[in-house]
Amino acid sequence: MSKTAEMNVKVIKNRTGPVKTVIVGAGNRTNVYSTYAIENPAELQIVGIVEPDHLRRIKAAERFNVPEEQCFDSIEAFVLKPKFADAVINGTMDEVHVQTTIPVLKAGYDVLLEKPIGTAKNEILELNEVAAQYNRKVMICHVLRYAPFYKEIKRRVIDGAIGDIINIQTAENVGYDHMGVSFVRGKWNNKETCKSSMLLAKCCHDLDIVTWLMSGTKPKRVSSFGSLMHFRPEKAPAGAGSRCLVDCKIENECPFSAKKNYIDQGKWGWYAWRSLQHLGPDPTLEQKIESLRTDNPYGRCVWHSDNDVVDHQSVAIEFENGTTATHNLMGGSAKACRNIHIIGEKGEIQGCMEDGYFIVRYPDARKGHEYKEERIDISISQDMHGGGDLRLVEDFVSVMKGNEPSISTTSLEDSINGHLIVFAADQANEENKVVNLNV
């Protein structure tokens, strides 16, 4: 049985038939989300493709049997056609999220928008205004809210299991392979190019979790510290070259080796072999190796790339009610994982999503005791984003069909605060100050 089929699919009450949807940006994330349409054709149907890259557009159209007249190379061309779908899944790059979403809202479509919402505060506030003006639904792909791990923690917080929250501590440890492919060699490695800081691109998920747990209470003040400390030329080990398979004397033992990560381990192929897509879906081993030797950006040494985003950053937040929170981002960890520790007035919740369980703990002052705790096992831990990806799409379909929003529903207006914290944190870090949020 498929992962999606194993879900507890909600009964759709107010509308029958699939939600007809157009993909905008036929990249990795929309490829994942649209899998729901393949596994649940009675609930979601992909009926249009908007993608400037000719090969990607054709490939997506073939996957979903979309006719040529419903395939477009730009948003401008798409919105000129009379409305033929219910919604759009927008998986474009960060810097064009808002400019590609506003026209489709005005054209009458509801939107499932990949995170981050936008790359600047004024952008996301403008988007929120347009969505309200045109009475359109916009849900944000903060998939962690849908992971059973975080969803169950949220339920217990709502139910008052640990009382009012005093402090939240979260951490995202980005694995060394993910750090190398995305934030050193890849598409999010340079803020001038991609317009996103690493904190925005990687941790708007985590800061959304923090503000989601504090729903109804706004963040008040933010401070932050971080830098690019490790992945820089002067930190290169002796023997490191400019490209892993050309002039590197330590490639055989280097954990960041392009050959080890992208060929031997077979990881991150969607990114690493993008420059070979003209050769077809299955380039040969020889073609892959030759590309890593020559012009493939993913063949570069991690200490000799054009990256300028931070590789570690810490954020401190104060909420209007006095609750405090911290988030620590670390890029290059041996184990990729997300940790959380919530301390409340009655007790605490602590866990690591990838371990598949969390602990609820209470003081116990009886003689011979210190505390008592309960282990809450979660059935899904290693699925993409803790099992949240397709549950997000399931919820989007449900909302589109007229059902009440779920505990996790990522409405635009409820997803903004986490982004405002990111923008404030980056400003605080760059300007060495505490930023007051006037929201």
205-217 tens-digit pLDDT: 999 999 999 998 9
**Rounded mean pLDDT, 405-434:** 95
Higher-pLDDT residue of 5, 423: 423
Q: What is the pLDDT of residue 1?
A: 36
pTM of the model: 0.91
pLDDT value of residue 387: 75
Domain co-membership, 137 together with 243? no
Q: In the numeric block, which tokens belong to residue 141? A: 């792909």
Q: Is residue 190 part of a domain?
A: no
Last residue of a domain, one of 144, 159, 181: 144
- Quote the pLDDT of residue 226: 98
Has residue 304 been placed in a domain? no
Last residue of a domain, one of 268, 299, 330: 299
Nearest CA among 274, 309, 268 for reference residue 175: 268
Mean pLDDT for 164-175 is 98
User: Do 135 and 245 belong to one domain?
Assistant: no
15-74 residue pLDDT tens: 679 999 999 999 888 999 999 999 999 999 999 999 999 999 999 999 999 999 999 999
Q: Return mean pLDDT, the chain.
A: 93
**Residue 39 CB neighbour total at 10 angstroms:** 15
CATH number of 46's domain: 3.40.50.720
In a domain, 391, yes or no: no
Position 380 scores a pLDDT of: 66
Domain assignment of residue 72, yes or no: yes
Q: What is the pLDDT of residues 77-118, one digit of tens each?
A: 999 999 999 999 999 999 999 999 999 999 999 999 999 999
Domain identity same for 35 and 140: yes
Nearest Cα to 297, choosing from 187, 132, 385?
187
- What is the phi/psi pair of residue 191, to 5°? -65, -35
Q: Is residue 321 one of the residues assigned to a domain?
A: no
pLDDT in tens, 113-149: 999 999 999 999 999 999 999 999 999 999 999 999 9
Q: By the 8 A CB rule, do 85 and 21 touch?
A: yes
End position of a domain, from candidates 95, 123, 144:
144
140 and 238 together in one domain: no
**For residue 13, pLDDT beyond 70:** no
- Whether the per-residue pLDDT at 389 is higher than 80: the answer is yes
pLDDT at 14 over 60: no
How many domains would you assign to the chain? 2
Residue 381 reports pLDDT greater than 60: no
Do residues 20 and 49 touch, judged by C-beta distance below 8 A? Answer: no
CA distance 277 to 281: 6
Segment 154-182 mean pLDDT: 97
- Token pair belonging to 223: 């401070």
- Structural domain for 107, as ranges: 19-144
What span, in angstroms and rounded, lies between the C-alpha atoms of 245 and 251? 7
**206 located within any domain:** no
Q: Tokens 């699925």 label which residue? A: 383
pLDDT in tens, 348-379: 999 999 999 999 999 999 999 999 999 999 97
pLDDT of residue 174: 97
Residues 134 and 247 in one domain: no
Q: Is position 434 within any domain?
A: no
Cβ–Cβ under 8 Å, residues 406 and 148: no
pLDDT band at 436 (very low <50, low <70, confident <90, very high): very high
DSSP of 164-224? SEEEEEEEEEEEHHHIIIIIISSTTS-HHHH---HHHHHHHHHHHHHHHHTTTS-EEEEEE
The pLDDT of 223-228, averaged and rounded, is 98
Q: What confidence score (pLDDT) does residue 2 get? A: 39
Q: Find out whether 323 and 219 touch, Cβ atoms under 8 Å.
A: no
Fill in the DSSP letter of residue 261: I
Residue 377 within any structural domain of the chain: no
Query: What CA–CA distance (Å, rounded) separates 138 from 152?
Result: 24
- The 3-state DSSP class for residue 91 equals coil
